[in-house]
A = this chain, B = another copy of it.
Amino acid sequence: MASRIYPPSREEVDEIHGDVVFPDSHPGDPSLPYVAMNMVSSLDGKASVGGKSGSIGGAVDRETMRVLRSKVDAVAVGAGTVRAEKASLTSGGRRSPEPFAVIVSSTLDIPFENLPHTTRERTIILTCKDSNPTMLGEARERGRILTFPPGDGGNRLIDIGGAMRVLKSRHGVGSVLVEGGPRLNHAFIRGGLASEIFLTLSPKILGGDPLETGGIIIGELPGAGEPPRGELLSIHMPEAAGEPGCLFLRYALESPGFR
C-alpha cells in the first residue's frame, strides 16, 4: 500500500519556503542555535561542477536559497566554498540586517577577495587557535575572528559545536543556515547539531568522477546503529518556464546517539 502523491492536487504558493519559521535554539540544547542545512544535488547525487553548485539548481534554487537565508541569523559556509567562487551569503535584501556571513576555515587558506560582500561587522570567520598570524591579520580586516580548538571529526575542522555556542552566546545567533561544502555539512551532522535539511534535487544528470564531484556529505559517521535519517516535511516543485524542474525537499533530521 502506498500513496501516489504526484501528479498532485496543487496548492499554489508564491514563494517556496516563504512560510518557514525557525526556532531560536537547538531543540535539545538551548545554548546552541537551531541549525538547518541547505543543499543542492543532481539526480545522480553530485553536489558541484568544478567546485560550484550554482548551475545545478537554476534560478528558483538560488531564489529559494535567499528566502531561507532571510529566515536565519547567520549563514555558514566552509573554506572550500569560498575557494571555488566569490561567496554571496545574503538574502538579497529580504532581511535587515542581513544574516551574519560565517566562514569556517581552520587554516585560513582562503582567497580573501572571495569573502562575502557583507560588511566587516556582519562577517564572522571561525578558525583555529594556531592559524598563521599573517593570515589572521588579513582575515581580521575582513571580519570578526573567533578561534577554537580543532574538532574531533578527523577532517581538520574546528570544534564546530563550541563555535556554535559562542555564536549564540556572544552574537545572539539563534539560527544558522549551513550551505556546505560536504565536509562542513558532515561536521554538523556528525555533531548532532543540524535539525533539518533542505535538499534541492535537480533532474540533471552530471556523471563525472566521484573524487571531483564530491557529494553533499563527505566524512565517516559513527558506524554503530542505524544511520541518521530525515523525515519528509514537504515537497515543492516550481512551475517557472525554462527551469530544470527541481524538487525542493524539506526533511526534519534526528541524529539519535550522535550527541
Inside 8 A of A14's CB, which chain B residues have their CB? 1
Q: Does A239 contact B (CB under 8 A)?
A: yes
**Interface segment, A68-76, A84-92, A138-146, A214-222?**
A214-222
In the complex, whether A21 has a CB less than 8 A from a CB of chain B is no
The reply on A240 being an interface residue by CB < 8 A is: yes
Copies in the complex: 2
Q: Is the CB of A3 within 8 A of B205?
A: no
Chain A interface residue count, CB cutoff 8 Å, equals 70
Asked whether, in the complex, the Cβ of B43 is within 8 Å of the Cβ of A230, the reply is yes
A235 to B15, CA, bound (A): 22
Q: Is the CB of A220 within 8 A of B229?
A: no
Q: How far is the CA of A174 from the CA of B240 in the complex (A)?
A: 37
Task: Give Cα A240 to B1, complex, Å.
Answer: 7
Is the C-beta of A244 less than 8 angstroms from some C-beta in chain B? Answer: yes
Query: Does A121 sit at the interface, judged by CB under 8 A?
Result: no
Q: Which of A123-131, A156-164, A196-204 contacts B (4 or more CB under 8 A)?
A: A196-204
Instruction: List residues 229-259 of chain A with CB under 8 A from any CB of chain B.
Output: 229-232, 234-240, 244-245, 247-249, 251, 253
Question: Contacts A210-B211, A214-B210, A244-B229 hold; do A239 and B1 have CB atoms under 8 A apart?
Answer: yes
Q: Does A32 count as interface, using CB distance less than 8 angstroms?
A: no
Contact sample, A vs B, 18 pairs, CB 8 Å cutoff: A2-B12, A2-B16, A3-B11, A3-B13, A3-B236, A6-B8, A43-B197, A45-B46, A45-B215, A203-B229, A204-B228, A205-B230, A205-B253, A206-B221, A207-B227, A209-B218, A210-B218, A247-B249
